[in-house]
Structure formats: structure tokens, C-alpha cells
């Protein structure tokens, strides 16, 4: 809600600046015309939230740039993130804020708006009571005498006069009634009431306060023009205006004839003979119609291009892709992608049934996951069952190959993964070792999933996955180490200088080979680009609150990694595991961002808009999670 109000205020301000510039350039001086123009701006300001929601256009998508083969080394991120800690907390040592200003802002806004709306309501009530108890004046029931008011006031279609008006001269009474009836004819009371309502809603917008004051001044000037034309004696009218001004008092709500700070200018206008005729209905309609395109431009929203286009999957061919695919055990031991179907839809998971995500066909045999920069290319997809697939990350072909295996092999791998996960989750005990032995492990390592850096500091060994905080690797014997922050271990292989580092987590083992400084720096620069994109400032936008219900639920990324998404009012809260629930803010209809950590979430939706999964973007990685309701 707050993002919609802020956006509406900015757009109304821009509209006001454009109108002011136009009136200034065209030298429009008529109070009646200026009042009409600013009334249109007022209505546009109040309607801006609805206009923004209803006037959204999609920008045409630009063609994707051609990939330059070999421009950067192949450093893919995971399609199914089963390896590596999912760090939803800020880096170690960074304070976790208890609240964010965006959490407090709605309450601060509501408190001020409530005070202003309350004052307006009380003022209306008090003035209504004054009008109710006032006595009719002569035979005109719309004109009433009040002992409370000290100046003529218009409230709705009722004119309230001071009790002393019975002693006024005929000229003074005629001038006052001409002025107040001009207010009624022009509809100034409801317009100024809307202006005060606009000021209460958009109290943080200087334009709302200025517009309220400007419309009040123009209402008086335009009514003066009408009254002088009716009275016919400008000097007599000026004397009446000055006489009334000397009795100015406070009126809770209403249109008073003489307002402090405005009387001197009005008297000067009347004496100088500066008057403008009324504008006819045709002229008024032409002005309003002329302003509508400007209002539409101020309200229109240019949306991002739609998601990548998909092509329907041939139901007769879908079974060609269904099956289990195993990656090279020498590079990614016990890594399975399991492709399944549900009706005419295709899904992929990590072989354990977790992180199940829908696949969408891009072209024959080429599929992608929404929210993840990855594709799956099936080989020989048009001739019988696909013998293998290639997992292509960030457009770097050919990608990592996984070969089709039978269900027995898939079940064996699943059992191994389950057993290894139990072993990895067992308590680990630190043992004492010579810190000098750590030098054999220090260096850079690279797998086909991510990079990590091993350093020795003050007699301790540290491991840093690029994009994540470094963690101490605690020795447990031989070349084996464990982490206290996560159920994960790292071991090293090779005599002398280690040639490989193996990360053990979630029942799987990821092998990374040692690389030199130059290769690491080049690969790290590419990974840091993705991290920098995640860390860039983001601005929340207004979306239809009805969409939020589509995203509520539980989403599993790994056996021990579950996101719980709940709705609170017009916002979403996401809780990861046992961490506290954190608010996420929309940057489009299906993508949201955190404010306490540089991370985003993209919801993957089905044809009906219901989220079937989500993708966490953090530390340069894309972590899918499937709905498990």
C-alpha cells in the first residue's frame, strides 16, 4: 500500500509541475480557468492509485544479445541447489536489524493521516451542527443566521450569516449573498472538501498542501468576479469585502468569504477592475478533455517485458524426456536429475523428490526453468527416449552432461544420498593438528557449480564460497574438516599440495579442482557481477494484493531447506527454516526482494497464477524450491 501511495504522490507532483508550466507559458490568468484546471489535477491525484493499477502497458522485449563464445570461462551456478549452505542471515559479524524503516513507515503514515482525517471529520460535524441550529433568514431557507460565525460561510448549499447581518445595508447584504451563491453555483464546497481529503491522504506530498491552498484562493477570486458582475459597483463590493475581513473568525469547515492573507490582493483586483467572465460549459469540457491525455501519461505504467515465451509440449513426445539422468560420478558423485510428467506438464527434481520445478519448452528438446538462468537440452529428443541431457548454465554451452539411467540405478543413488546425509549430519569432533599442514590446502578451487577459496589465518583454515561469508574449516582428522555453521564438511585429496577439494553436504559430494590465481580472478569477476546485481538498490512497486494469495505456502529446496511464505495484510513474509520471518517487497508481479540481506525471490506460477515453486537469488546462485503443500 505504501509503495502505491508514494508512487501516486510522485506522479501527482509531476502532473502538477507540468500543469503549472503550461499555465505559466500560456499566461492563463482567469481564476475560473485556473480553478477548473487545478480541480482536474485534484481529481487525478485522488484517483492516481486506481489509475496506476488500471493503466499498465508492457514494453516490447528487446532481442537478446548474441553470446560471445569464449569471452568468459564456464562457471555455471546450480539449477538444483543441493550443495552449499543457503545463507539467509547477514554475514557473520553483521548486526541483524530488528526492524526496517519500511516496516515502520505504514504506522507513521497511518498515524498522521488519522489525525488529519479526524480533524476534517470533526470540523464537518461541528459546522453541520452550526447549520442545523441556525435560524432561517427571511424567506430563503438556504440562508441562515448563526450566533457562532463571525463571517459569511458556505456549507454545502447553505449560507451561514452572522446574527448581526439583520442590520446590514441592502448593498452589503446583496454583495455578500452574491459572493456566497457564486460559491454554491461553482461547487466550491465539495471541491475544497476533496482538496482537504487529498491533503490528509497524501500529507507527505508538498503538492497536496499547495493544491489545497491554491484552490481556496482561486475559489475566492472566481466568486469575486461573479459577484462584482452581479453587483455592478466594484468599489462598493471592495468596501464590503474589507468590512467583512475585519470580522474574520475561525470556522471549523466551510468556505468563508474573507480569509486572512488573501483579502488585500482580492481588494486590489476588484479596485483595479481585473475581472474575467465565466467560462461556458463547452469551454470547460474542452479544457477537461485537453487535460486527459496529460493525466493518462502521468498515470501510465510501463511494465517489464513478459516472461520468455514458451511453446507447447507435444503430449505424444513428452515421455521421451521422462526418466532419471546421472552426472559424471568423477565430477559430481551421486548427482541425479529426475524428469517426470504430470499430465501435459514436465517437471525436474534432484532425484530425491525435493526442489521439484516445472520445465517450459523453449524449442524442440530445449527447456528452461522460470526464474533460473539455466536450460536443459535433451539429446536426440525427436528419436525415442532422450539418451542424455545437458545442463546449461548462464548460456555456456554445451554444459554438464547427465546420461539416462534406469530406475534401479536411480534408486541406488537415492539410497546412497540418504545414507551419506545421515553421516554428514552426525556430530563431528575437532582434533588437534599442526597448523603448518594447512598450507597444503590453501588455494583456489573450482567445480562446475561454484568457486571457493581456501585461506590460512592465525593458525586456522577458512573456506569461502564466492558470494558467501568465509567459514572456519574445523579439522576432524587426516584431510577432513567440518563446519560448525552448517551440516557440511570439506575434504582434500592429493599428496603434497591438494589437487582437489570435496564439499560434502545434503548427502552429496561436489568435487572442485585446484585452479591458479588468474583463472580464479576471471571466474570470480563473473560471479561477482551476479552478486552485485543482487545487491543493487531496489524500489518496491504496487501490485494487486489479490496476487499475494497465490504465493502463500511451503516450498522445499532441499531435505532440510524449507521456505514458509505467509501473507500479512498487503505484504508477504518469508521464513527460512528456524530463522525469523522476514518481509519481502515486490519489484514486479512475481519477483520480491529482501531488505535485510541482498537476496530476491522469484515465484514460478502455473497458468492459473498459482505458484508451483520459487527461486531464491542469493550469493550469485539461483536456488529453486518446489511447493510441498
**CA–CA dist 201, 120 (Å, integer):** 12
Helices (H), 540-605: none
Is 587's pLDDT higher than 60?
A: yes
For 534, the 3-state DSSP assignment is helix
Classify domain 537-627 by CATH number: 2.40.128.50
CB burial of residue 220 (10 Å; 0-12, 13-18, 19+): buried
pLDDT over 90, % of the chain: 32
Report, as an integer, the average pLDDT of 584-602: 91
**CA–CA dist 318, 303 (Å, integer):** 34
Phi, psi values for residue 302, rounded to 5°: -95, 110
The predicted-structure confidence for 490-519, as pLDDT tens digits, reads as follows 999 998 899 999 988 878 888 899 999 999
For 375, the 3-state DSSP assignment is strand
Q: What is the predicted pLDDT for the residue at 607?
A: 67
**CA–CA dist 446, 513 (Å, integer):** 5
Determine which helix (DSSP H) or strand (DSSP E) holds 299, and give its type and residue range: helix 281-299
Is the sign of the CA dihedral 69, 73, 74, 78 positive or negative?
negative
Q: Report which of 159, 165, 161, 167 is spatially closest to residue 148, judged by C-alpha positions.
A: 161
Helices (H), 62-205: 101-133, 170-186, 188-201
**Long-range contacts of range 384-389, CB-CB < 8 Å, 24 or more positions apart?**
384/320, 385/319, 385/320, 385/323, 386/320, 386/321, 386/323, 388/325, 389/321, 389/325, 389/337, 389/339
The predicted-structure confidence for 115-172, as pLDDT tens digits, reads as follows 999 999 998 898 888 888 888 887 778 899 988 888 888 988 999 898 888 888 889 8
Is 90's pLDDT higher than 70?
A: no
Q: What is the predicted pLDDT for the residue at 74?
A: 23
**Long-range contacts of range 226-230, CB-CB < 8 Å, 24 or more positions apart?**
226/178, 226/179, 226/182, 226/185, 226/186, 226/278, 227/175, 227/178, 227/179, 227/182, 228/270, 228/275, 229/275, 229/277, 230/178
Boundaries of every domain in the chain:
2-58+97-301, 318-420, 425-532, 537-627
**CA–CA dist 267, 453 (Å, integer):** 80
The predicted-structure confidence for 313-369, as pLDDT tens digits, reads as follows 888 888 888 999 998 887 778 888 889 888 888 888 877 656 677 888 888 888 887
45, β-bridge pairs: none
pLDDT over 70, % of the chain: 84
CB burial of residue 117 (10 Å; 0-12, 13-18, 19+): middle
Residue given cell 523428490 in the structure block: 353
**Contact 238/270 with Cβ under 8 angstroms?**
yes
How many other C-beta atoms lie within 10 A of the C-beta of residue 95?
A: 6
Which of the listed ranges 17-31, 81-95, 273-287, 603-617 does the model predict with the highest average pLDDT?
A: 17-31
Read off the pLDDT band of 37 (50, 70, 90).
very high
Classify domain 318-420 by CATH number: 2.40.128.50
Neighbouring residues of 399: CB distance < 8 A, sequence distance ≥ 6 = 76, 375, 377, 390, 391, 392, 393
CB burial of residue 525 (10 Å; 0-12, 13-18, 19+): exposed
489 or 100: which leads in pLDDT: 489
Single pTM value for the model? 0.50
Q: What is the predicted pLDDT for the residue at 396?
A: 67
Classify domain 425-532 by CATH number: 2.40.128.50
Is 273's pLDDT higher than 50?
A: yes
Is 89's pLDDT higher than 60?
A: no
Which of the listed ranges 206-220, 351-365, 522-536 does the model predict with the highest average pLDDT?
A: 206-220
Is 71's pLDDT higher than 50?
A: no
Where is average pLDDT lowest: 302-311, 371-380, 386-395, 490-499? 302-311
Q: Report which of 251, 222, 288 is spatially closest to residue 42, judged by C-alpha positions.
A: 288
Read off the pLDDT band of 452 (50, 70, 90).
confident
Q: Could you tell me where the beta strands, DSSP code E, fall in 294-425?
A: 301-303, 323-327, 336-342, 345-349, 357-363, 366-368, 374-378, 388-393, 400-405
Q: Report which of 349, 287, 412 is spatially closest to residue 35, judged by C-alpha positions.
A: 287
268, β-bridge pairs: none
HSE on the CB side for 257, CA within 13 Å? Answer: 32
466 DSSP assignment: T
- Cα 200 to chain center, whole Å? 24
The predicted-structure confidence for 431-444, as pLDDT tens digits, reads as follows 999 999 999 999 99
Examine residue 78 and say whether the peptide bond preceding it is cis (omega within 30 degrees of 0).
Answer: no
Is 298's pLDDT higher than 90?
A: no
628 or 262: which leads in pLDDT: 628
Amino acid at each position: 500500500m505504501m509503495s502505491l501511495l508514494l508512487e501516486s504522490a510522485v506522479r501527482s507532483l509531476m502532473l502538477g509541475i507540468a500543469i503549472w508550466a503550461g499555465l505559466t507559458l500560456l499566461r492563463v490568468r482567469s481564476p475560473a480557468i485556473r480553478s477548473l484546471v487545478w480541480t482536474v489535477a485534484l481529481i487525478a491525484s485522488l484517483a492516481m492509485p486506481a489509475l496506476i493499477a488500471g493503466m499498465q502497458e508492457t514494453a516490447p522485449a528487446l532481442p537478446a544479445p548474441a553470446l560471445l563464445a569464449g569471452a568468459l570461462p564456464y562457471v555455471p551456478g546450480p539449477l538444483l541447489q543441493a550443495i552449499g549452505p543457503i545463507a539467509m542471515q547477514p554475514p557473520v559479524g553483521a548486526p541483524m536489524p530488528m526492524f526496517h524503516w519500511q516496516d515502520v513507515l505504514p504506522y507513521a503514515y497511518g498515524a498522521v493521516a488519522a489525525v488529519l482525517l479526524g480533524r476534517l471529520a470533526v470540523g464537518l460535524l461541528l459546522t453541520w451542527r452550526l447549520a442545523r441550529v441556525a435560524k432561517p433568514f427571511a424567506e430563503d431557507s438556504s440562508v441562515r443566521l448563526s450566533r457562532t460565525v463571525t463571517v459569511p460561510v458556505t456549507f454545502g448549499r447553505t449560507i451561514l450569516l452572522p446574527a448581526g447581518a439583520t442590520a446590514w445595508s441592502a448593498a452589503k447584504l446583496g454583495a455578500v449573498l452574491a459572493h456566497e451563491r457564486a460559491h454554491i453555483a461553482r461547487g466550491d464546497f465539495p471541491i475544497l472538501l476533496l482538496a482537504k481529503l487529498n491533503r490528509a491522504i497524501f500529507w507527505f506530498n508538498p503538492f497536496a498542501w499547495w493544491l489545497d491552498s491554491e484552490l481556496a484562493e482561486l475559489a475566492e477570486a472566481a466568486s469575486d468576479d461573479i459577484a462584482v458582475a452581479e453587483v455592478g459597483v466594484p468599489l462598493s463590493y471592495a468596501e464590503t469585502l474589507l468590512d467583512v475581513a475585519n470580522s474574520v473568525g475561525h470556522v471549523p469547515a466551510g468556505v468563508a468569504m474573507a480569509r486572512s492573507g488573501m483579502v488585500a490582493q482580492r481588494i486590489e483586483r476588484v479596485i483595479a477592475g481585473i475581472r474575467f467572465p465565466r467560462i461556458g460549459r463547452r469551454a470547460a469540457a474542452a479544457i477537461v478533455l485537453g487535460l486527459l491525455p496529460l493525466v493518462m501519461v502521468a498515470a501510465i505504467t510501463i511494465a517489464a517485458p513478459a516472461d520468455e515465451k514458451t511453446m507447447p509440449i507435444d503430449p505424444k513426445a513428452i515421455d521421451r524426456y521422462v526418466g532419471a539422468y546421472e552426472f559424471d560420478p568423477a565430477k559430481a558423485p551421486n548427482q541425479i536429475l529426475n524428469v517426470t510428467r504430470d499430465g501435459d506438464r514436465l517437471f525436474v527434481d534432484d532425484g530425491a523428490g525435493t526442489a521439484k520445478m516445472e520445465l517450459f519448452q523453449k524449442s524442440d528438446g530445449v527447456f528452461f526453468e522460470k526464474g533460473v538462468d539455466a536450460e536443459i537440452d535433451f539429446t536426440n529428443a525427436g528419436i525415442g527416449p532422450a539418451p542424455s541431457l545437458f545442463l546449461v548454465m548462464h548460456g555456456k554451452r554445451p554444459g554438464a552432461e547427465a546420461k539416462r539411467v534406469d530406475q534401479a540405478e536411480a534408486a541406488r543413488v537415492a539410497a546412497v544420498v540418504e545414507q551419506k546425509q545421515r553421516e554428514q549430519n552426525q556430530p563431528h569432533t575437532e582434533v588437534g593438528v599442526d597448523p603448518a599442514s594447512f598450507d597444503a590446502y590453501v588455494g583456489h578451487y573450482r567445480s562446475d557449480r561454484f568457486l571457493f577459496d581456501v585461506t590460512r589465518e592465525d593458525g586456522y583454515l577458512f573456506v569461502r564460497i564466492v558470494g558467501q561469508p568465509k567459514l572456519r574449516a574445523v579439522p576432524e582428522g587426516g584431510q577432513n574438516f567440518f563446519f560448525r555453521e552448517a551440516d557440511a564438511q570439506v575434504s582434500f585429496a592429493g599428496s603434497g599440495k591438494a589437487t582437489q577439494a570435496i564439499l560434502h553436504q545434503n548427502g552429496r559430494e561436489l568435487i572442485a579442482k585446484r585452479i591458479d590465481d588468474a583463472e580464479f580472478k576471471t571466474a570470480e569477476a563473473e560471479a561477482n557481477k551476479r552478486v552485485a546485481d543482487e545487491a543493487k538498490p531496489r524500489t518496491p512497486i504496487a501490485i494487486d494484493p489479490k496476487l499475494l494469495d497465490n504465493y502463500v505456502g511451503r516450498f522445499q529446496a532441499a531435505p532440510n531447506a524449507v521456505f514458509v511464505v505467509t501473507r500479512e495484510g498487503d505484504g508477504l513474509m518469508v521464513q527460512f527454516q528456524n530463522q525469523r520471518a522476514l518481509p519481502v517487497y515486490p519489484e514486479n508481479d512475481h519477483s520480491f526482494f529482501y531488505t535485510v540481506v541482498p537476496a530476491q525471490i522469484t515465484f514460478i506460477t502455473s497458468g492459473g497464477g498459482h505458484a508451483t515453486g520459487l527461486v531464491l537469488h542469493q550469493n550469485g546462485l539461483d536456488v529453486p524450491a518446489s511447493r510441498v503443500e
